[in-house]
Chain A
Amino acid sequence: MSLDTVAAAQSSPDTKQPFAELGLKPDEYARIKEILGRRPTSSELAMYSVMWSEHCSYKSSKVHLKQFSEKAPKSAALLVGIGENAGVVDVGQGYAVTFKIESHNHPSFIEPYQGAATGIGGIVRDILTMGARPIAVMDPLRFGPADAPDTRRVLPGIVAGIGGYGNCLGLPNIGGEVVFDQTYAGNPLVNALCVGVMKHSDIKLAKAAGAGNLVVLFGAKTGGDGIGGVSVLASETFDSSRSTKRPSVQVGDPFVEKLLIECSLEIFAEDLVVGIQDLGGAGLSCATSELASGGSGGMKVALDKVPLRDPSLSPEEILMSESQERMCAIVEPHKLPRFLEICKKWDVTVTAIGEVTDGNRLEITWNGELIVNVPPRTVAHEGPVYNRPMAQPAYIDKVNSQKVKLSIPHTATEIKEAVLKLAAAPNLADKSWVTSQYDKYVQGNTIQSHPEDSGMVRIDETTHLGVAISTDANANWSYLNPYQGAKLALAEAARNIATAGARPLAVTNCLNFGSPEDPGVMWQFAETVRGLADGCLAMGLPVTGGNVSFYNQTGTVAILPTPVIGVLGVIQDVRTRTPMSFDTAGLDLFLLGQTYEDLSGSEWAFLHGERTGQAPTADLAREMRLIELLLAGHAAKIFHAAHDLSQGGLSAGLTEMVLRYSVGAIIALENVGVALLSESPGRVVVAIDPKKVSDLRELATTHSIKVEKIGTTGGDSLTINDCVIDLDELRHAHTSTFPRLFG
């Protein structure tokens, strides 16, 4: 069979093409023909099919996500907003910080190690492509039940993959989450966040500008990774003697990515690129169409120039390949020799594969024959936009009207049992089994990492400027009320930044949902986005970018809506940061914030199989006052420690604090069961010197935040009223769970 060229497409309009197998609907196929004025070539069909897929085009989410721009709060700190590879914020002193969170859920279920590894690889390249040196990663992870056999298959592989790739890149892992829930059985969630830093002048954008400038592909060679779907085209146009085995799993090489990072940073430092894009989902199809769209509008590429690992790949396969560790730069011709020199120094494969043109077409040739001639914007930005039907699912009214039925502990024995049970619960237990597989020290700038409320990294060794990042989600609340759930997660992430003394600045998000073709799921998504957009506007925190992962479901059962919110903040002097816990006796412990009977969606409810009730209502004005109180207290140096309360409530918060440095606490509480188990939002426990209590009370009054003394630090037990829990016993419960489950 011969190559399917543009000329061939023009002269054979009635050729049957496998558009349905590639995921395109009949009306979408018709639209492509309308755009081109003819049938697409098989290469063009491959490009449109993958770029118009949900994963690349965001066709189901676009109409909702535009709220982030429409409702964006004015923020002087925002340097690059939604639309680029990652958002960039000004953190002062001429520094810009870029951060983003992404998902790699489905591949991690199929091949846990490589799925998670390539997830890290992808998000790191997104940060690198903005012109930044990546400085840290975080990994919010969600699995099926902790004791399920498939969790034992998937969790160790995913953790090993994140560690294996991230450690080899030299990126400290400064935090994350590990959550277990039946809802994720068969659909583990692997979300990866990366942060990078640069000077303002270093910011790079994905645009191909300047006719005559060169399109340069560098990094790993291209192989058949991740093209499973498109091989249906290969079998259409080539004979059967060719091997049809095409790997659908992408395999990462962190060593090559490390070289790519160092090579790219040297290239950036010498100002050798006009624009740059990394190759992620949809590989070259995406990079070429997006670069061309972002710039003058035209580009010519000779696809046969792409360096190949597998010489038998067809042009369609090369365009679709998701081989890792590749970047595409736009380089002025007179700067190319130096560009090539730097690549040679780092032993990075590099080839000029095309040039920017005047006009507005993306033209791709194969050995001189034109196989792609498309308007790039139609591929990269003007894909289908769906306004999918949505309907509030029946379960909402049902669960919201049911009051959660739970036994509340009262006696000392019951209290002890409850505290130990929560301490040992897989969602709350000590996660060292996971985090000790991650390097937290490399680069020598990690100020805090897991189990602190946020990860914190020093940006400048002379001025001690630093950034803090936290990721949070509460699927239980999002299930009960997606609108409130999003706001509550946002507030929690921002609060986790403020407890350390950093000021929240910007937001990223990873929205993990079931199928958008389910009106109930679509409603959950729409409500979540509305809640997050409203919340960001109220809190003055712009969304800088993020990721949507749909189709997380098995059969017809979708996962609980799981929007993971990441907040980044700034601290002027990392040496002043407030740690999460105390290492001395004799301090006073105060609870900031109001406790109500918020047991619906709590860990206590979860442990008892109760998933009904109403989510709390977010009071963002109050959350913002609490944040200001925390920052004011930090500035006045009145806190020895500050710890956010979230899943597991005060019980988990106190457990984490006393075990951190093995200093106990004596606590007195009224309505002790509810006080310990409730998960009312907007609460923080602080440890302060008794001499500073009046300062705290004054701040609390100024900021209208309830403050109540709950106890003092000291001793070798956690004592709550008349219940005494020896720290050793508490530690044993807290630290035995993961080794018992995962070896």
Chain B
Amino acid sequence: MRVGVITFPGTLDDRDAARAVNRSGAQAVLLWHGDTDLKKVDAVILPGGFSYGDYLRAGAISRFSPVMNSVIEAAGEGMPVLGICNGFQVLCESHLLPGALTRNSDLHFLCRDQEIEITNNMTPWTTTFSLKERIVIPLKNGEGSFQCDDKTLAQLEDEGRVVARYVGENPNGSRNLIAGISNERGNVVGLMPHPEHAIDPLTGPTAQGLGFFTSILNSMVK
């Protein structure tokens, strides 16, 4: 199973995402922002980082990359897409996901081991988790506050499209403690915290992030 990992100029966690994909048993395929060729991957990950320096708005420039045209098309046809942190920002700017990520409410960049609860385990990225399972994975960003209008919020909640929620104190001011959401179809997921940094207790707080990557493997193998 092939999972694409996109590198935009300024992307930082692409190799970490690729490591996580390989660790899960799938094959990571590196994709370049300037190429429209998705190289026949079965799923795509938009990793974390500071693409284009977060200039203008985080993800605002990346969304116009040639590769994103292909991703938008493929997502429309049901390809699973996971956006992590900056990737989530790109997905919102591309309108593949609703809402927007804004500056953390206390204005500081925050790196901490964050407990989240998986609130939707039906997406191809979350099937190996049990519903309401709590895991600890790193959160590290300056613009992680999820915002949307009331109508969108109600829709996300009513349709069960909140994929993960922060447990405990709200780390960044996100509405309803939202840490991750999906699109209507459920194949596109945006997640603020970083599962790729929690695949080994040697280098991360836990290995509980691996579930996102084994889920996609299981979803395709079925």
Contacts and interface: CB of A to CB of B under 8 A. Distances in A.
How many chain A residues sit at the interface, stated as a range, is: 20 to 34
Given A443-B16, A444-B196, A164 B10 contact: no
A583 to B, nearest CB: 12
A19 interface: no
B111 A444 contact: no
A440 B138 CA distance: 10
A437 B9 contact: no
Given A170-B49, A436-B112, A442 B12 contact: yes
B63 interface: no
B49 to A, nearest CB: 7
Contacts of B15: 443-444
Given A259-B9, A438-B109, A444-B203, 18 more contacts: A163-B109, A168-B50, A170-B13, A254-B53, A255-B10, A255-B53, A258-B9, A258-B53, A436-B108, A436-B111, A437-B108, A442-B140, A444-B16, A444-B19, A444-B197, A444-B204, A446-B203, A447-B203
Contact of A437 (B16, B54, B109, B203): B109
Interface string A559-589: 0000000000000001100000000000000
B195 to A, nearest CB: 11
A690 to B, nearest CB: 26
Contacts of B203: 441, 444-447, 458
A435 B13 CA distance: 20
A442 B13 contact: yes
A361 to B, nearest CB: 40
B9 A447 contact: no
Interface in B191-212: 194, 196-197, 202-204
How many chain B residues sit at the interface, stated as a range, is: 20 to 34
A34 interface: no
A170 B112 contact: no
B208 to A, nearest CB: 14
Contact of B52 (A255, A436, A444, A447): A255
B111 A441 contact: yes
Contacts of A447: 202-203
B67 to A, nearest CB: 14
Interface string A402-443: 000000000000000000000000000000000111111111
Nearest to B106: A743
A160 to B, nearest CB: 8
Interface string A437-464: 1111111111100000000001000000
B12 to A, nearest CB: 4
A700 B10 CA distance: 51
9 contacts: A253-B53, A254-B53, A255-B52, A259-B9, A347-B9, A436-B112, A441-B194, A443-B16, A444-B203
B202 A574 contact: yes
Interface of A: 160, 163-164, 167-168, 170, 253-256, 258-259, 346-347, 435-447, 458, 574-575
Contacts of B53: 168, 253-256, 258
Interface in B10-41: 10, 12-13, 15-16, 19
Contacts of A163: 109
A440 B10 contact: no
B13 to A, nearest CB: 6
A254 B138 CA distance: 23
B9 A346 contact: yes
A439 B140 contact: yes
A167 B9 contact: no
Contacts of B194: 441
Contact of A575 (B49, B140, B202): B202
A440 B9 contact: no
B122 interface: no
Contacts of A438: 109, 111
Contact of A441 (B10, B110, B197, B202): B197
A377 to B, nearest CB: 39
Interface in B83-138: 108-112, 138
For the complex of A and B, the 3 pairs showing the least CB-CB separation, nearest first, are: A255-B53, A170-B12, A441-B197
Nearest to A346: B9
A398 B12 CA distance: 55
